[in-house]
Structure 1
Amino acid sequence: MPRFSIVVPVYQVQGYLRACLESVLDQSYGDFELIVVDDCSPDGSPAILDEFAARDERVVPVHLPANGGIGPARNHGVRLARGEYLLFLDSDDSYTPGTLRAIAERIDATGRPDVVLFDYARTHWYGAVKRNRDAEVFGAAGAEVFTVAERPELLDLFTVVWNKAYRLDFFREGGFAFPTGFYEDAVVVYQTLWTARTITLVDRVCVYYRQRRRGNALRTPSREHFEVFAQYERLFRFIEERPELARWRGFLYDHMADHYLFILRQRDRVPPSSRPEFHRRAARDLRAHRPSGHRLGAHIPRTSFTLLSRAPYALYALHRVAAVKRAGLRRRHRVWRRRLRKVLLALHGRLVLRRALDPRLAVYSAFSHRGVLGDPAAIHRKAQEIAPHIRSVWVVGKDHVDALPPGVEHVLPGSRAYRRVTARATYLINNVNWANDLVKREGAVHIHTHQGTPLKSMGADLLKYPGARRGFSVPKMLRRADRWDYSLVANPHSELVWDRAYPCGFVSVRSGSPRNDCLVRPEPGRRESVRQRLGVPDDSTLILYAPTHRDHRQGGYAPTCDLERLVAGLPGDHVLAVRLHPSLARHHERGLGLRDLAERGLVLDVTDEPEVADLLLASDALITDYSSLMFDYAHLDRPVVLHTYDWDTYLAARGTYFDVTERPPGHVTRDEDELARLFASGAWCDEESTRLRSAFRARFGGYDDGRAAERVVRTLMLGEDMAAVPVVPAPGAPSDVLTRS
C-alpha cells in the first residue's frame, strides 16, 4: 500500500499537464501512486497521460468515456485509491520540491491525523509568485493537533481541497464525495473539517496555484454559477442530519450570504439576463435557512443583504447602480481630498520651513525606514554616548515600530511630525536617499553613509544596466543625492566608486564604516550571547550563508545552492545558518524550502535577525555570492567562500566594479558539487583560504579601525578637528582626510 494516493483530474490542460505530473514524479519522497483521470479531454492531454504512464509505473491512467466534470472525475480517482492518505492536485497546478516528504513527516510527528492542511503560493502568468495572504495562520502558535472548533479561523481560508491531505479511511468512512457543478470543493472542505477529530498544519508552501490569464471557468459568465444553490443545500442538509454540527449553522449562513452577494456583484459570473432569477433563488435560500435569532456577521453589507433577501431584483439592481455611482463619487472625492491635502501640506511645509533649524536635533533613517540599523544606528549610538545634548529622532515605518529598541524616539514617514523634525533638524543621517519632498535647507547637514563597500554597479553606473534600474529613475536619484553634504567611505575603492557613481557636490569623508566598528573592536561576550540565543553549542562551527538580491529575477530571488545536500556534507558539529536578503523576507521561497529545512532542524533561518552584525560575529565562516557582507566579514579574519554559480548572468544583468572571482576573499565555487566537496573535505579553511583572505583584507581594509562612528560624530556633528580622531591610513591612501568629489 503506498503512503499517498494523489488524484489529478484532467481536462483541456495540455499546456500545463507535463509540469504538473513532473512536479509529482520528481518528488524526493517516492512512496505514492498518481491517479490521473482523463475526463474525456478533447485536446492532447490523454496522449501526455499515456506517455507518463508508460514512463513511470506509479502513474495510474484513467480514461473516462464521457465528460462529467471535475467532481465526478475526482470521485472516480478516490474509488481507485489505495494509499494511506488521499491528496488532490489540479492539473494546471504543481507541487513544490520536498512537498510529499514534508507532509509525510508531519503525519508521523502528529499521530496520523484525519486532515493535514498546507500552504500555497499563487503563480501569475506574468511571472510573479505571491504566497497565500493568510500564510500567518499556518505559523500561528497553538496545539499541533486540534479540531476546527479549536481553530475556527481555518474555515475562512480559501475553500479548496488541493491544499489538504486526507486520511483515506477517514474520507471513506465519512462518505464524502464531490458533487457535480461549480463550487464543488466547498462541500467537501466544510464537511471534512467539521467532522475531523484531528487536524494539523504544515507551515510550508507546498502547491504552486497557477493564475491563468484566460480560461478560468469561475470567471466566465454562465448559468453554471447557479450550482452554488445546490452546494449550499447539501451543506445545510449535512448539518441537519448531524445534530452535533448545529453550532456551524450560523457560520454557514453568513458564508452563504456573503457568497451570494459576491457572485451578484461580479460582472463575470451570472449573465445579465439570468440575474433576476439568481436574485430570487438567493432570496429564497436566505429566508429559508436563517437560524432563529441569528445576527449577521459584521463583514456582510447590511443594506445589500436586506435588499437581496426581501426586495425585488429591480430594487437591488438600482441599489447596485447607486452603489457604483457612490463609489465613483467617493473616488472623485478622494482625488479632490488628496489635492486639498497636498495644498495644505505645502502650506504647512512653508510654515515649518520659516522656523529656525534646531542645532540639537538629528534625524536618522536606515534601509527605507526599517528601523535602527546599519551605519546610521552606529552613529546614533555613539552620538548618545559622546553628544547626549543632540536629540535623536528616527524615521520608522509603521510595520517596524514594534521592533524598536526601548527609548527610541520615532516618527512615521510622511506624517506631520516627520515633516516637522526633518524641516528643523540640523543633522540628517541616512543610508538611503531621503524622499523627494524633503527640502534641503541652508545650514542642514546631510550625511550619507551608503550600505557597505560596493561590488555591484551603483548610481549613474546603472544607466548601462536597464534591468537593474527597473522601477526607478537614475536622474531623479542623482537629484536626491545632490542634497548630500558628506559621503562616508570605508576604503579608497569606495571613494573612487562613489565619486563616479554619484557625480554630485558632496565631500568624501575617509571615516571608515561605522557599522564595522563592532567587528573591528568586538564587544566582549557579544559573540557568545548571540550563539546562545540562536541555540548554537559553544563547540560547534557556525557557517552563515547570506546570498544577495537578484535584480534580473522576478521578485529578486534566484534559486540558491542545494542547502540540504550541503548540510549532508558538513561534519556533525557544523551548523548552517541561512539569511536571505531583507527584501526577500516575505518571499514565497522562504515558506517553501527554507522553512522546511529549518523545521527539520537542518538549518537555522536567521532572515529575521535585525542586526546582521550579530550573525557575522557569531559565525565561524561566511558563504555568500556578491553581497557587500564579504567586505565587512573580512575584518573578522575568518574564512569566506564565494558561491558564484550565476556569475556570468549577474555580471551581464547588474555589472560589478571588479572581478571578485579573480581576487576573492577565499575559495570560489561555481556549482553545488564543488561547494559540497569544499566543505566536506575541510578545504574551506585551509592555508589557501587564509592567503586569499589576507590579500583581500589588505586591499579593502581601508579606514576601518573601530572608531568610524566616533569620527563622524566628533568631526561632522560636534565640529572637532579630524586630527583629534586620526584615521588609520590604508596602504596607498592619500594623506589628506577630506577630498572634494
Structure 2
Amino acid sequence: MKKLKMAVKRLLSKTGSLDLFIKRAYIWATVFSYKLRYFLIQVKPKQIIFESFQGKSASDSPYALYLQLQKSLPNAKFIWVFANDNITDFQTLQKQANTHCVIRGTKAYFQAYASSQYWIVNCRLPYRLLASSKQTVIQCWHGTPLKKLGMDIKVENHPTSSLKAMHFAYQWEGRRCDYFLSPSAYASSCFISSFGLDKNQIVELGYPRNDSLFRYKDDIEYQQAIKQKLGIEKDKKVILYAPTFRDDDFSNGKHTAINRLDNDAFKEQFKDVHFLFRGHYFANVESKKDTGFLDVSDYPLINDLLLIADEIITDYSSLFFDYLILERPMYFYMYDKDKYLNDIRGTYLNVDTDMPGPVVERQEDLLHAMKEMNYTIEQQNKFNQLYNLHEDGKSSFRIFNTLIK
C-alpha cells in the first residue's frame, strides 16, 4: 500500500494543475475530518505540545523553549511528539512529572493537538491540523535558509509533488501559524516570500536553538563530555561533514544521504583527525562497512556536534549560519554547484561572493583550502552582525516573554 501511494504521488507530480486540485481537495477533506472528529475536545489552558523534526527527537528550538517553559511555567502541562516509543528521548521525557509523550499519527496525537493551547513546532505538520481561534501556533522552523524554500523554488523537479501543489502546501503552512520565529532580517525576508507570510507573523528575536551554542562555546569541560559520550579522544581534532539533501536524489520513498568524502584520497591527507558525518533528517544514510567517519545522523542534538567540531564542511545547508556563532573555520564543498543552482533549488545568497568561507567544487580544491585555512575572524564577525544579531543565549526567554507569558 505504501509503495502504491508513493507511485501515485510520483505520477501526479507530473500533472501540474491536476496535482494542485487534488492536493487542495485532500487538504480540506482531512481538515473537515479532523474538525468533525475532535471538535468536542476542549482547549486546555497552559497545555503545550512540542514537535521537532517530525518526532525524531526532542531537540532544536522546541526543546530549548521546553526547557525555558519548565522553569517559567512549572504548573503547565507539556506534551512531546515522537515517531515511536523506542526513541531515547521518549523514555527520558515520559518520566518527567509534568510531561506526557504521544506517538505521531495516532489518535492520542491528534487529541493532544486539539486540546493544547500552544503548538510549538519546527517542521511542517500534517495538513489536517488546523488550530482553532483559542490556540496559538508557534513555528520555529529549523535554520536560516541558504537553499531556496517553498514558493521561492522555481524548478519543477520535486519527486512527489508538482511545483504548483508544493507552493500551495507551503502557503498552507504559513497560513496556519500565528507566529514564525526568525533570527535576522535576512531570514525574515526569506520566510515571508517562501511561506507567503504577513510581516506581522514574523517574530525576529533570535533562535532558541542557538542559546546552547552561545552558552557553551567556550566551555571546554562541557565539550569534552560530549566527546566522551561519542567515544572521541579529548585531544583529537574533529571535522564534521554535514551536507544537505538533494531533491532529485530520491528512492524507496526517501532521500539518500551520500558521504562523498568517505574515500582514501581525502582521509589519508589528515592525521589524528576524527571525522563525523551527519545526513539531513529527511534522508537515509548510505552506509559503508569500512569507513573513517563516525555516522552521527541520528544523534539528536546537532549543537553538541557543532560544539566539538574544530571545523565543518557543508554545502547548501543552513548549518553554517549557526556555526558562525563559534567563530571557527568552515568550508563549502559544492561538487554539484551548477546543477544545484540551476536545476535543483538555487540559493538566496550568491555562493560565489557571499559565503563566510571557501567555496569549492572539487575534492582536491577542498583539501587545498583546508590546508590554507583562508578565513578571518573579522569576516565571520561581519556575518554574525548580519545573520546572528540576536544570538546572545537569551532567545528562549525573549520568545517566552513576548509570545507566551
TM-score band (shorter)? 0.7 to 0.9
1:565 matches 2:256: no
Cα deviation, residue 398, structure 1: 1.7
C-alpha distance in 2, partners of 1:414/1:675?
Answer: 43
The answer to whether the 8 A contact 2:170-2:195 is kept is no
Q: How many residues align?
A: 361
The C-alpha deviation readout for 1:567-622, integer Å capped at 9, x for no partner, is 2101x22222111222334x4x22x3xx421xxxx222222211111100111111
Q: Does 1:527 align with 2:198?
A: no
Listed as ranges, the matches of 1:473-622 within 5 Å are 473-505=166-198, 507-522=201-216, 524=219, 525-555=221-251, 556-557=255-256, 560-570=260-270, 572-585=271-284, 587=285, 589-590=286-287, 592=288, 595-597=289-291, 602-622=292-312
Contact residue 666 and residue 690 of structure 1 kept, 8 A: no
| Pair member with larger Rg | 1
- The answer to whether the Cα contact below 8 Å between 1:392 and 1:409 also exists between their aligned partners in 2 is yes
- Structure 2 partner of 1:675: 366
Q: Paired residue for 1:644, among 334, 355, 366?
A: 334
Q: Equivalent of 2:60, from 374, 385, 410?
A: 374
- TM-superposed CA distance for 1:534, in Å, is 2.0
Deviation per residue, 1:240-268 (Å, 9 max, x gap): xxxxxxxxxxxxxxxxxxxxxxxxxxxxx
1:582-731 counterparts in 2 under 5 A? 582-585=281-284, 587=285, 589-590=286-287, 592=288, 595-597=289-291, 602-652=292-342, 653-679=344-370, 682-684=371-373, 686=374, 688-718=375-405
Work out the CA distance in 2 between the residues paired with 1:482 and 1:644. 34
Aligned to 1:350: 39
Deviations 1:520-576 (CA, angstroms, capped at 9, x unpaired):
121843211011122222222111111110112234345623543222101x22222
Distance 1:616 1:445 in 2: 32
C-alpha spacing 1:399/1:647, structure 2 compared with 1 (3 Å): farther
State the partner residue of 1:312: none
Which amino acid is the alignment partner of residue 631 of structure 1? F
**In structure 2, what is the Cα distance between the partners aligned to 1:394 and 1:402?**
13
Asked if the contact 2:122–2:142 (Cα under 8 Å) also holds between the matched residues in 1, the reply is yes
How far the C-alpha of 1:399 sits from its partner, in A, is 6.1
Give the letter aligned to residue 415 of structure 1.
T
TM-score normalized by structure 2? 0.82
Alignment of 1:417 with 2:108, yes or no, is: yes
The reply on whether 1:465 has 2:155 as its aligned counterpart is yes
**Aligned amino acid, residue 498 of structure 1:** F
- Find the aligned partners of 2:378 and 2:312 in 1 and give their Cα distance: 16
Q: 1:511–1:400: structure 2 CA closer, same or farther, 3 Å change rule?
A: farther
* Maintained 8 Å contact 1:661/1:668: yes
- Tell me: CA distance 1:713–1:342, structure 2 relative to 1, closer, same or farther (3 Å): closer
1:397 paired residue number: 83
Q: How does 1:186-205 map to 2 (within 5 A)?
A: none
* Secondary structure, aligned partner of 1:580: coil
Partners of 1:613 and 1:458 lie apart in 2 by: 23
Q: What does the per-residue CA deviation read over 1:89-137, in whole Å, with 9 as the maximum and x for residues that have no partner?
A: xxxxxxxxxxxxxxxxxxxxxxxxxxxxxxxxxxxxx9xxxxxxxxxxx
Measure how far apart 1:375 and its partner are: 1.1
Aligned equivalents of 2:33 and 2:380: distance in 1?
57
Q: Is the contact made by 1:492 and 1:702 (CA closer than 8 Å) also made in structure 2?
A: no
Contiguous gaps of at least 5 residues in structure 1: 1-125, 127-340, 719-741
Q: Deviations over 1:625-664 (max 9, x none)?
A: 1110000000001111111111111111111111123121
One-letter code of the match for 1:662? T
Change (3 A) 1:363 1:670: same
Indicate the RMSD between aligned Cα atoms, in angstroms. Answer: 2.4
> Deviation at 1:695?
3.1
Q: What amino acid is aligned across from residue 222 of structure 2 in structure 1? A: R
Amino acid at match of 2:190: V
Output the amino acid matched with 2:248. Answer: H
CA distance in 2, matches of 1:387, 1:347: 32
Give the share of equivalent positions with the same residue, in percent: 28
Distance 1:696 1:468 in 2: 31
Alignment gaps of 5+ in structure 2: 1-6, 8-29
Contact 1:382–1:709, Cα closer than 8 Å, also in 2: yes
Matches within 5 A, 1:290-301: none
Letter in 2 for 1:549: F
Contact residue 242 and residue 278 of structure 2 kept, 8 A: yes
SS in 1 for 2:40: helix
CA contact (8 A) 1:635 1:701 kept: yes
Q: In the aligned structure 2, how far is the partner of 1:393 from the partner of 1:712?
A: 19
Q: Give the 5 Å matches for 1:39-50.
A: none
Structure-2 separation of matches of 1:480 and 1:674: 40
| Counterpart amino acid of residue 236 in structure 2 | S
Aligned equivalents of 1:604 and 1:559: distance in 2? Answer: 11
Q: Is the 8 A contact 1:459 1:501 kept in 2?
A: yes
Residues 1:698 and 1:563: Cα distance change in structure 2 (over 3 Å): farther
CA change 1:481–1:633 in 2 (3 A) is same
Separation (CA, whole Å) in 2 of partners of 1:715 and 1:364: 18
What code does the residue aligned with 2:139 have?
Answer: H
SS across alignment from 1:596: coil
CA shift digits 1:654-709 (9 cap, x unpaired): 11111123121212222011122333xx312x4x3444433322321222111111
Look up the equivalent residue of 1:410 and give its one-letter code.
C
Cα pair 1:396 1:412 within 8 Å, conserved: yes
Question: Match of 2:39, SS?
Answer: helix
Q: Secondary structure at the match of 2:55?
A: coil
Structure 1 residues 431, 437: CA separation in 2 closer, same or farther (over 3 Å shift)? same
Q: Distance in 1 between matches of 2:225 and 2:334?
A: 32
Which residue identity lines up with residue 382 of structure 1 in the other structure?
Answer: Q
* TM-score (ref. length: structure 1): 0.46
